[in-house]
Amino acid sequence: APPRPPSPPPAAGPSPRHAERRRRSRLRSGSTVLLPSMLMFGVILASSGLLLMIEKGILAEVKPLPLHPAAGEVFRRVETRGGDLERELLRDIRNRTIRSVCGQRAMPRSVWELPAGQRRTVLRHLLVLDGALESVDVKLKMDHKSDLVFLGDMTPDEINYRLKNYYKFVFVRNPAERLLSAYRNKFGEIKEYQQKYGVEIVRRYRKNGGKSAGDDVTFSEFLRYLLDEEVERMNEHWMPIYNLCQPCAVRYDFIGSYERLNEDANRVLEEVQAPSFIHFPERQSWYKPVTAETLHYYLCNTQRRLIKELLPKYILDFTLFAYPLPNITSEFCRQ
Ligand SMILES: *[C@@H]1O[C@H](CO)[C@@H](O)[C@H](O)[C@H]1NC(C)=O
Ligand SMILES: *[C@@H]1O[C@H](CO)[C@@H](O)[C@H](O)[C@H]1NC(C)=O
């Protein structure tokens, strides 16, 4: 996605008042029934394809939702029993780790305990769904503004109410794969990123790099940039998930994994009692995920020292969400 401006111009985003008016008028006209259990989306993902699916896809074609699944409606979600066990195990590990890390005295217990800048970051990335989406065009490239509203656009009371009562979920991804994916997607394919970040990265880290168009950033240069950047000022695609989603300050009801996206997305649909005709969409055909071989190639062709120095910055993402640190031993790299 093109980087969003620091604060959306007032006219562009739906203001809370605007949204409220729209909601009331919808209520009055009675044409749209509101969802009983509201959803809150935590969007933390590195991959644009994924964002598209989560925001736009989940509720594709939702007309007025019945307040409860209609009588006789059966939930037919494909589940494998073995997968269930694995998922419960992972959920338990994450749950315990988060509880023990977030239980420490220095950790924030609510978004209001966060420094203002950090609070702004998380509130600006939590999408709120108040009621059913009116229309969803899955083909539309990511547009974070229509239908879904950022929590940060609401008043403190509205924010508190939603944090307390809505179903909140977030999807996480292996931090090493996430960074590689961000690198390959943003610097390989997206001009705005090449101009906004690439030019500067090359200028900083390459001798005579002044003439680069920013489209030839190497992975090592990207990692050096991450090492030098202040976490709070990072772009959302490479900011540590911890800072982006603040899992201590926000008590998420569910933490899904990118690695089991379909199952976990369907689990969310189940939890919010979405009617069975709603399905999580297929992956877009143009989307090419990072493979283990690609990761191996990049990690093993990067100075080990650089990776080791960078890991502490992302250590909470590895720990809280139970991802193993990347194996960069020479045995592994020799394979
Ligand atoms: C952690 O466990 C508690 C209690 O079982 C549960 O309510 C909560 O939703 C879990 N959180 C996550 C993120 O799985
Ligand atoms: C790293 O990979 C090597 C080679 O496959 C393996 O022997 C070693 O146990 C791995 N280390 C870790 C920490 O996973």
Q: pLDDT (tens digit, 9 = 90+) per residue, 146-166?
A: 567 889 999 999 999 999 999
Which 8-state DSSP code applies to residue 287?
-
- Alpha-carbon gap, residue 212 to 306, rounded angstroms: 23
Q: Please, which residues have CB within 8 angstroms of residue 183's CB and are 6 or more apart in sequence?
A: 217, 219, 222
Q: What is the pLDDT of residue 147?
A: 62
Share of the chain above pLDDT 70, in %: 70
**Residue with CA at minimum distance from ligand 1 atom 13:** 254
Q: What is the pLDDT of residue 127?
A: 87
Picking from 248, 270, 268, the residue whose alpha carbon sits closest to that of residue 256 is: 268
Q: Ligand 1 centroid to 63 CA: how many Å?
A: 31
Q: What is the pLDDT of residue 83?
A: 64
Q: Ligand 1 centroid to 168 CA: how many Å?
A: 11
Q: What are phi and psi of 332, to 5 degrees?
A: -65, -40
Indicate if the pLDDT at residue 81 is higher than 50. yes
- Strand pairing of 167-172 and 39-42? parallel
- Alpha-carbon gap, residue 255 to 168, rounded angstroms: 9
Q: What is the pLDDT of residue 279?
A: 80
Over the stretch 98-150, which tens digit does the pLDDT of each residue have?
999 999 999 999 999 999 999 999 999 998 887 666 555 544 434 555 567 88
* CA distance from start to end of the chain: 35
The residue with greater pLDDT, 313 or 190, is 313
Q: What is the pLDDT of residue 207?
A: 87
**Which whole number is the average pLDDT over 91-98?**
94
Q: Please, which residues have CB within 8 angstroms of residue 245's CB and are 6 or more apart in sequence?
A: 42, 44, 122, 125, 126, 170, 172, 252
As for ligand 1, residues whose beta carbon falls within 6 Å of it are: 91, 95, 252-255
- Alpha-carbon gap, residue 235 to 44, rounded angstroms: 11
Q: What is the pLDDT of residue 116?
A: 96
Q: From the alpha carbon of 253, which atom of ligand 1 is closest? A: 9
Indicate if the pLDDT at residue 276 is higher than 70. yes
Reduced to 3 states, what is the DSSP secondary structure of residue 277?
coil
Q: Which amino acid is at 210?
A: G
Q: Please, which residues have CB within 8 angstroms of residue 333's CB and are 6 or more apart in sequence?
A: 296, 299, 300
- Joined tokens for residue 300: 């093993």
Over the stretch 17-29, which tens digit does the pLDDT of each residue have?
554 454 444 444 4
Indicate if the pLDDT at residue 66 is higher than 70. no
Over the stretch 227-240, which tens digit does the pLDDT of each residue have?
999 999 999 999 99
Mutate to test the pocket of ligand 1, among 92, 95, 172 (most ligand atoms within 8 A of CB): 95
- Joined tokens for residue 281: 């969409």
Residue length, the chain?
A: 335
Q: What DSSP element (H or E) covers 1? A: none
Over the stretch 31-49, which tens digit does the pLDDT of each residue have?
333 333 334 443 333 332 2
- Alpha-carbon gap, residue 178 to 282, rounded angstroms: 20
Q: What is the pLDDT of residue 50?
A: 30
Q: What is the pLDDT of residue 32?
A: 37
* Residue pair 292/67 in contact by the 8 Å Cβ criterion: no
Domain locations in the chain as residue ranges: 16-334
- Joined tokens for residue 303: 């100075």
Q: What is the pLDDT of residue 79?
A: 45
Q: How confident is the model at residue 64 (pLDDT cuts 50, 70, 90)?
A: very low
**Residue with CA at minimum distance from ligand 1 atom 2:** 95
- Alpha-carbon gap, residue 289 to 284, rounded angstroms: 11
Indicate if the pLDDT at residue 2 is higher than 80. no
**Which whole number is the average pLDDT over 70-97?**
66
- Joined tokens for residue 83: 């997968």
Q: What are phi and psi of 257, to 5 degrees?
A: -115, 135
Q: Verify whether ligand 2 is closer than 6 Å to residue 330 (CB atom).
A: no
Instruction: Measure Cα distances from 28 to 17, 25, 32, 34, 258 in Å.
Output: 16, 5, 9, 12, 39
- Joined tokens for residue 31: 């044409």
Over the stretch 153-204, which tens digit does the pLDDT of each residue have?
999 999 999 999 999 999 999 999 999 999 998 998 888 899 889 989 999 9
Q: What is the pLDDT of residue 125?
A: 92
Indicate if the pLDDT at residue 220 is higher than 50. yes
Q: Which amino acid is at 52?
A: L
- Joined tokens for residue 18: 């605007």
**Residue with CA at minimum distance from ligand 1 atom 6:** 253
Q: How confident is the model at residue 272 (pLDDT cuts 50, 70, 90)?
A: confident
E runs forming strands in the chain? 39-42, 126-129, 149-150, 167-172, 254-257
- Alpha-carbon gap, residue 312 to 242, rounded angstroms: 12
Inter-axis angle of helices 175-182 and 219-228, nearest 10: 110
